[in-house]
Amino acid sequence: MWINLILRTVEQGLAFGLLAMGVYITFRILDFPDLTVEGSFPLGAAITARFIVMGTDPFLATLFAFAAGACAGIITGLINTKLKIAGLLAGILTMTSLYSINLRIMGRSNIPLLRQPTIINNIEGFIEGIGMNPDYVSLFGFIIIVFIIKILLDYFLYTEMGMSLRATGNNPIMIESLGVNTDVYKIMGLALANGLVALSGSLVAQYQGFTDVGMGIGMIVIGLASVIIGEVVIRSSKIPLATLGVIVGAIIYRLAIALALQMGFAPTDLKIVTAVLVILSLGAPTLRKFMIQDEFADRLMERGSSDAEN
């Protein structure tokens, strides 16, 4: 029972790892508070479900989901850079608009995919064909998908365009003085991030067998929690380790949620569980500092006592 639970939870964590990578791009690389995530996640799921139901190849439907998410990011970027609307408000406006758009795309609030061909089914069929244990087929499939995308993202962030993107978030004034158009790179970063988020929504919808218009609620918190937990677990500024960290963070987050449910927490309690996880992750360095200071003080007191006795 526990092994099966852990396997299913790790699979979910890998799917949400793409969401975490998207949030990492906006939150850490661009330093942009992007709430478009809560609209682009269900957008990817809605696009995928609609095309699959229409008979489109699931791989092609998944690519359409990525493209749709990228378009959502471009809209947020244009609102911010061209209309000079604050990034937080630009994301909220796009997110709000996407709720109605997602309903239009789906035609109703929920689309089941249980009897439809999905990318998960195709990967499972291929892996089973080479004789792998059926219990690990989905897990292995998600590992392949997520780590191929991770490697491509790592490579891109070390290219000239990727370095300019990183510089745009780190020091926009300096990069502008070198003749780089920061607005273009900000829009590109938001497009890439929301494309990954929509791709995550597409995979989650195909994995769980349905798409719901409300499945994006709280996704920004899940993404931030994954990024922060990953940074605590893997403390490195190197891009390959940082992106690995957010994937690990997403898996740890899903394991923590599964553990909370097993301990008797109601599904309605998961929001406060998430908040506590984020607080503990953010406060870990401070708590560690206090623990070190207290330990140092105790040692000084013990040494003082021993000196007094002598």
pTM tops 0.75: yes
**Exposure of 251 by Cβ count < 10 A (0-12 exposed, 13-18 middle, 19+ buried)?**
buried
Instruction: Say if residue 298's pLDDT is above 70.
Output: no
Phi-psi region of 211 (alpha: psi -120 to 50; beta: other; left: phi over 0): beta
Residue 179, pLDDT > 70, answer yes
182-216 burial code (b ≥16 CB/10 A, e <16): bbebbbbbbbbbbbbbbbbbbbbbbbbeebbbebb
Residues 307 and 298: their CA atoms lie apart, in Å, by: 14
The lowest-confidence range among 58-67, 134-143, 247-256 is 134-143
Total residue length of the chain: 310
Q: What pLDDT, on the 0 to 100 scale, is given for residue 283?
A: 75
Q: First vs last Cα of the chain: how many Å apart?
A: 60
Residues 6+ apart with CB under 8 A from 265: 273
The DSSP secondary-structure symbol of 29 reads I
Question: If you average pLDDT over residues 244-271, what whole number do you get?
Answer: 87
Tens digits of residue pLDDT in 266-288 = 877 877 887 887 787 777 667 66
Do 259 and 253 form a contact (C-beta atoms < 8 A)? no
Condensed to tens digits (0 to 9), the pLDDT of residues 74-120 reads: 999 999 999 999 999 999 999 999 999 999 999 998 999 888 888 87
Of 291 and 117, the one with more pLDDT: 117
Hey, how many other C-beta atoms are within 10 angstroms of the C-beta on 126?
13
Q: What is the rounded distance in angstroms from the CA atom of residue 153 to the CA atom of residue 146?
A: 10
